[in-house]
């Protein structure tokens, strides 16, 4: 260094340059974060600002008439479909998760797990197409609640199965062994120890799955069909409306009232989905606090 007096300055310049590059990279990261946050806040704010000023009870309490009226038929339809999915996909998904976490081993388990993950990766419109040609056409069910909720269930069962399996796997082995030592039989252990401990996780997965099914459109268009009258409680031969259909159809109509309904439906969808996801977060937070105390 003594032989090259300029070396120190050169190192200084390089360090300064490296630090500047680092600072620039960090600002780029912050810009990226803004890019992630801004669109979604924008979407929610815009839908709310278009929907809220005109929102009234009549939107929720009257069914659609032509391009006007309200959204009661769509709201009831969405709730009906979601309830059906909760029963059907909830049962199959939770049961499947129990099997994968408690009984499955070896090759069969990995095949079933893989099939479930692959099923979740199929594009929703492909599932909808198959639901249409099989349930609606080949089974002669027509556009109906049954066809819609089976198609939708196929899409969310893998998610429920996965969250149930993961929650059950996280039950501490010591709990199960303790119960075993106390002489409980496997059925009692599963019911009173494993399922009870895993319940917050299972319920969270179920709620998020319902949030997903509330927001789906493509699987329902050609299975549930559409109807402006209030849905009948019939599994077949009775098409019904749902909120995503209103968004998808009305925005493009040459009538201000129809576009308004489209935004109203979008707003209700966002509220429903965010409420469900927030509920799931609260359950997770409560469960983890409980665990810390215990």
Partner 1 sequence: MKGKAALASDLARRTEEPQAPRVFRPTTKSPLGPVKIASTVSAVAPLLALLAILGILVHQALPAIKYNGLGFFVHNVWHPGNFYLQPVTTNGVLHPAQAEYGAWAIIAGTVLSSLIALVIALPASLGAALVISKLLGPRVRNALGVFLELLAGIPSVVFGLWGTLTIGPLLSRDIYPIVAKHMPDVIVLRWFRGSTGAGEGLLTSGIILAAMIIPIIASTSRDLFAQVPTLTEEGAEALGMTRMEVTTKVTVPWVSAGIIGATVLGLARALGETMAVAMVSGSVLGTLPTNIYSTFNTIAATIVTTLDSALIDGTGLAVRTLAEAALALMLVTLLANVGARLLVRKVSTTALPVGRGV
User: Contact between 155 and partner 1 (CB under 8 A)?
Assistant: yes
Q: Choose the binding region for partner 1 from 53-61, 67-75, 233-241, 242-250 (rule: CB under 8 A).
A: 242-250
Would you say 238 or 280 has its CB closer to partner 1?
Answer: 280
Nearest of 93, 121, 75 to residue 204 by alpha carbon: 93
Q: How far is the CB of 263 from partner 1 (least distance, A)?
A: 7
Q: Which of 70, 77, 93, 146 binds partner 1 (CB under 8 A)?
A: 93
User: Contact between 264 and partner 1 (CB under 8 A)?
Assistant: no
User: Contact between 49 and partner 1 (CB under 8 A)?
Assistant: no
Q: What angle, rounded to 10 degrees, do the helices at 195-215 and 256-293 form?
A: 170
Q: Choose the binding region for partner 1 from 57-65, 69-77, 229-237, 262-270 (rule: CB under 8 A).
A: 262-270
Q: Which of 209, 224, 258, 261 binds partner 1 (CB under 8 A)?
A: 209
Q: Which of 12, 66, 172, 186 binds partner 1 (CB under 8 A)?
A: 186
Q: Which positions from 8 through 47 interact with partner 1, judged by CB under 8 A?
A: 18-19, 21-22, 25-26, 28-33, 35-37, 39-40, 42-44, 46-47
Q: Choose the binding region for partner 1 from 60-68, 139-147, 271-279, 286-294 (rule: CB under 8 A).
A: 271-279
Supply the DSSP string of the chain, one letter for each residue: --S-TTHHHHHHHHHHHHHHHHHHHHHHHHHHHHHHHHHHHHHHHHHHHHHGGG--HHHHHS-EETTEE-SHHHHHHHHHHHHHHHHHHHHHHHHHHHIIIII--HHHHHHHHHHHHHHHTS-HHHHHHHHIIIIIIIT---S-HHHHHHHHHHHHHHHHHHHHHHHHHTS-HHHHHHHHHTT--HHHIIIIIIHHHHHHHHHHHHHHHHHHHHH--HHHHTTT---SSPPPS-SSS-----HHHHHHHHTTSS-HHHHHHHHHHHHHHHHHHHHHHHHHHHHHHHHHHHHHH-
User: Contact between 268 and partner 1 (CB under 8 A)?
Assistant: no
Q: How far is the CB of 190 from partner 1 (least distance, A)?
A: 7
User: Contact between 161 and partner 1 (CB under 8 A)?
Assistant: yes
Q: Choose the binding region for partner 1 from 57-65, 139-147, 184-192, 229-237 (rule: CB under 8 A).
A: 184-192
User: Contact between 134 and partner 1 (CB under 8 A)?
Assistant: yes
User: Contact between 256 and partner 1 (CB under 8 A)?
Assistant: no
């Amino acid at each position: 260094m003594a032989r090259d007096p300029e070396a120190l300055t050169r190192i200084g310049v390089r360090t300064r340059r490296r630090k500047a590059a680092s600072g620039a990279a960090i600002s780029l990261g912050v810009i990226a974060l803004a890019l992630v946050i801004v669109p979604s806040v924008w979407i929610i704010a815009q839908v709310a600002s278009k929907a809220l000023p005109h929102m009234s009870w009549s939107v929720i309490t009257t069914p659609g008439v032509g391009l006007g009226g309200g959204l009661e038929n769509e709201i009831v339809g969405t709730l009906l479909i979601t309830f059906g999915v909760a029963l059907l996909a909830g049962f199959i998904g939770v049961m499947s998760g129990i099997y994968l976490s408690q009984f499955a081993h070896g090759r069969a388990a990995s095949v079933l797990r893989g099939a479930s993950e692959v099923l979740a990766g199929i594009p929703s419109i492909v599932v909808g197409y198959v639901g249409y040609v099989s349930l609606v056409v080949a089974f002669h069910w027509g556009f109906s609640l049954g066809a819609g909720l089976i198609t939708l269930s196929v899409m969310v069962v893998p998610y429920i199965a996965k969250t149930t399996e993961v929650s059950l796997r996280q039950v501490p082995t010591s709990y199960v062994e303790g119960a075993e030592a106390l002489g409980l039989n496997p059925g009692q252990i599963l019911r009173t120890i494993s399922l009870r401990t895993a319940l917050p996780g299972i319920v969270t997965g179920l709620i998020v799955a319902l949030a997903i099914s509330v927001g789906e459109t493509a699987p329902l268009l050609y299975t549930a069909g559409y109807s402006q009258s209030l849905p009948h409680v019939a599994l077949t031969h009775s098409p019904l409306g749902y909120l995503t259909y209103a968004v998808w159809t009305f925005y493009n109509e040459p009538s201000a009232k129809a576009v308004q309904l489209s935004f109203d439906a979008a707003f209700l969808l966002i509220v429903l989905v965010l409420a469900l996801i927030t509920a799931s977060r609260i359950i997770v937070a409560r469960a983890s606090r409980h665990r810390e105390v215990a």
